[in-house]
Structure 1
């Protein structure tokens, strides 16, 4: 039995591909260990924060910009959809008056808010609003997420979802568009009597051939008649226009403090590979009234791991402008080669601070910026000092093994090939492997200068990985 990984990139969302070994092996004349992994950990990697705003409030309809946003690349341009709010004199903030605005860029650095001309704000369509007010049938656009649907006819190529409420009853609404600018609201809700008051993330999964959605769940509402704690819920549908009631998928667990909510989900497939998924949920600590972004990983989008209990993007310190917390939006894009960026929304105000006039005495008008990782750099197989492991049996296609890795000064990575029974393949031992040191997004492994592995295509093979002061982010047969 072997995992058939073909030529798909393998990333370290969990330990599944690593042989667990035995501290005391089966049989033998004396107790010995067998293929025990040691000196290694799965280490979540923090991003570089690019504080330059993508957008900030500078239009009359942008009294403040909320943290919910969607960013993706589309036919040579970057498209950013973001939630904004207008507050007239004496107005109190209301989620149900949210508006969806639009900006675009050719380089991901310089952003333009174009005149879209579809939504009437105070009698004029000279604005960058795309979904609000009359266009959204008065339902607002709170928590909206936009996605491009490859399965839809051209007139419905772009879709969005958002929350709304009528008479205190929550709904999830949808809209369709041929170009992402001119939207038609669907008259009937996607889900009735459901309160997903967060950024709901929906997309079309080509492998499943259906739509998948990540919603807010309220644990108490599922089990008793009270709200309880905010969680992540999930549903699938063959039709965008109609969804079953989402079911709780991810909740705070027994290792979290009892005041913990999972406020958003920020779901995205791991770019460039199959069988890897990411969440960047904002965890809300009610006692502190602060949110921080964590990282969760999955192979199927259903069973999720949280490899670190610490936030991957923490709140800032006093005076930072981030002291109220931070949220992740939706979408990973490559703006610079070898990097992936995620939109984030820092907050000066804590979650409930804006409910009080004295809390709003120092304004927090909001803005969006980027958190950036190296390609595949969200989590790494890491040896702080020295470590080694063996993979499960694998079958592959391709001629070479490529690695994405980084080593400290004096560190190295080496690979040994073994058969299914863990017998080292002659000419491909650690002693034969040419050591790899440095920083590489795509490095070809060689053994005394030889990179050709075509003789083992389709045959069960194990990789022994040796790391010294190193991180391995991804591996792929090419």
Structure 2
């Protein structure tokens, strides 16, 4: 009888057959997931056992500025795509946004020489960076090419005040490899172990981005691995190429790091000569680590590219020896989402078909060839994403055309689960309710979202049916999900949630 009542109530609400069918439980396979307090994003299929009539769509951030915010001009002197921006509301207003980045101190209009240093600038709003920048002289340069400025703020509660701020950077001089430094305030820095590398790598493995995992309470990094790799592309072409892949390492103190292991290599789902400049801008959201993976396609050129940009991207004969199936363009780059549920031991990723941030297609724009996210900054209910843009290609006019821009998006809206006029449904795996209430990150101003709760074997629970759920018909980051009975009554129970969507997008659920 209970099943009949549930179905009748569902049909009365006009929910289509896909949502109705979703009430049938998928086969049991694994222990229940804990629906804890905090955000739970529908980025992947972790919270989805069945989906019908619902599309997964990557949501690109909003380009709201025409020009870069940190430029190659004399006041900024940016020359690399690597940066960290932090926002601290406790600082004086004009210093609340700070950016650490790589500056080229050589004034060379021909772009034939450079000397990289670490620069620091402040901003009132994160958009306008008047400069001039400060050169962090304590971070003495070993060699000519300073790369990376990956900064972590462990907060005022950090037990060692002098190590509150941590930075990872790379030099290639007397020593080759990533180095770390510590600071009490982000401005006065002390190089660890006299500036010697913390990992042994070869020259050219110069990209390193660090993050912190609050669940496992350890640091992690993504780095660049150079070397030959063989694979078959999405187009069916067999390739053997000297490319950049991704490695990971872990540390409890930011000083001693585990031996790097390879975590990302191109495969048959990747188009062309896919490679990476590692990931960056890491965020911890619920049980997820989210990163922004900087994909490089040196086999592509943007529309209108000058011939000099293509010729400048050629590799040496030694580097090309043994390559099979490789073509070269001026080089293009875009950003895709990557995520981990095991603290960075392994990462899932989107592919070229689901770009998160692509270059501007308008010919001649400052970010026409590259759009690589390098830093993410929560600001209110938005996320600021700072990215590197190149105008014509990978190796062309490095101290002139490489600049830093800003896009933004609403919190946690990386991936939408969308349904149109025809209703769709999402059924979760079996969950153990630990939260007292639930809100949804959702857009449904011309539609609606409802949910019901069923038992693990698919039986309806009175008071938690679609008919008992107040429909959500708004655009909200935290729309309350309410039934006739409070969610707290089901704490400790093993159940499933079934969402019904019509003309709506669902991004995340948040336990309260």
Partner of 1:327: 372
Aligned to 2:487: 453
Query: Structure 1 227/85 Cα, relative in aligned 2: closer, same or farther at 3 Å?
Result: farther
* C-alpha distance in 2 between matches for 1:383 and 1:424: 23
Distance 1:175-1:19 versus aligned 2 partners, 3 A rule: same
Contiguous gaps of at least 5 residues in structure 2 = 1-30, 91-95, 232-239, 301-330
Q: Deviations over 1:290-322 (max 9, x none)?
A: 111112222222332234523221112312222
Q: Which residue of 1 aligns with 2:152?
A: 147
Structure 1 residues 9-54: Cα deviation after superposition (integer angstroms, max 9, x where no partner) = 211131122224xxxxxxxxxxxxxxxx311232211110132543
Q: What is aligned with 2:356? A: 312
Change (3 A) 1:94 1:387: farther
Instruction: Look up the match of 2:27.
Output: none
Q: Does 1:8 align with 2:8?
A: no
Partner of 1:183: 189
Match among 94, 101, 116 for residue 119 of structure 2? 101
Change (3 A) 1:459 1:407: same
What residue is the counterpart of 2:298 in the other structure? 286
2:175 corresponds to 1:159: no
Matches within 5 A, 1:402-421: 402-407=439-444, 409=446, 411-421=447-457
Q: 1:380 aligns with which of 407, 416, 422?
A: 416
Structure 1 partner of 2:472? 436
Equivalence for 1:55 = 70
CA–CA distance in 2 between the matches of 1:108 and 1:19?
Answer: 40
Give the deviation of 1:86 after TM superposition: 2.4
- Listed as ranges, the matches of 1:45-84 within 5 Å are 45-51=59-65, 52-59=67-74, 62-76=76-90, 77-84=96-103
User: Post-superposition shift, 1:474?
Assistant: 1.0
Is the counterpart of residue 44 in structure 1 residue 61 in structure 2? no
Equivalent in 97, 104, 107 of residue 85 of structure 1: 104
Q: Distance in 2 between matches of 1:130 and 1:54?
A: 20
C-alpha contact (below 8 Å) 2:205/2:226 kept by paired residues: no
| Structure 1 residue 427 corresponds to structure 2 residue 470 | no
Mapping for residues 225-304 of structure 1, pairs under 5 Å? 228-270=242-284, 273-288=285-300, 289-300=331-342, 301-304=344-347
Structure 1 alignment gaps of length 5 or more: 21-36, 115-126, 356-362
Helix, strand or coil at the partner of 2:242: coil
- Aligned residue for 2:63, secondary structure, equals strand
Q: Secondary structure at the match of 1:113?
A: coil
Give CA deviations for 1:79-127 in whole Å, capped at 9, x if unaligned.
21121112245875567x211111223433343536xxxxxxxxxxxx5
- CA distance in structure 1 between the partners assigned to 2:372 and 2:86 by the alignment: 17
Checking the alignment, whether the CA contact within 8 Å between 2:143 and 2:173 is kept in structure 1 is: no
176 and 91 in structure 1: CA distance in 2 versus 1, 3 angstrom threshold: farther
Aligned to 1:344: 387
Q: Is the 8 A contact 1:298 1:305 kept in 2?
A: yes
Structure 2 Cα separation of the partners of residues 211 and 323 of structure 1 = 34
CA displacement, residues 302-352 of structure 1 (integer Å, 9 cap, x when unaligned):
33223452322111231222222121112x2233x3211110111113003
Specify the alignment match of 1:28 in structure 2. Answer: none
> 1-side partners of 2:298 and 2:141: how far apart?
32
Deviates more, 1:371-380 or 1:429-438: 429-438
Aligned residues of 1:315 and 1:323 also touching (Cα < 8 A): yes
Q: Could you tell me how far apart the structure 1 residues matched to 2:203 and 2:485 are?
A: 55
Do residues 465 (structure 1) and 499 (structure 2) align? yes
**Aligned-partner Cα distance in 1 for 2:147–2:63:** 26
Deviation at 1:414, TM superposition (A): 0.7
Q: CA deviation at 1:274?
A: 2.4
Secondary structure class of the residue paired with 2:423:
strand
When residues 83 and 50 of structure 1 are mapped into structure 2, their CA distance, relative to the original with a 3 A threshold, is farther
**Whole-Å separation in 1 of the counterparts to 2:454 and 2:63:** 41
Contact in 2 for aligned 1:13/1:299 (Cα 8 Å): no
Partner secondary structure for residue 431 of structure 1:
helix
- Look up the SS of the partner of 1:228 in the other structure: strand
Distance 1:15 1:158, change over 3 A: same
Cα distance between partner residues in 1 of 2:292 and 2:402: 19
Going by fraction, where is helix more abundant, 1 or 2? 2
Contact 2:177 2:205 in 1 (8 A): no
* 370 and 89 in structure 1: CA distance in 2 versus 1, 3 angstrom threshold: closer
After superposition, what is the alpha-carbon deviation per residue over 1:410-460, rounded to whole angstroms, capped at 9, x for unaligned? x2111011122211111221122222112111111223xx36222111111
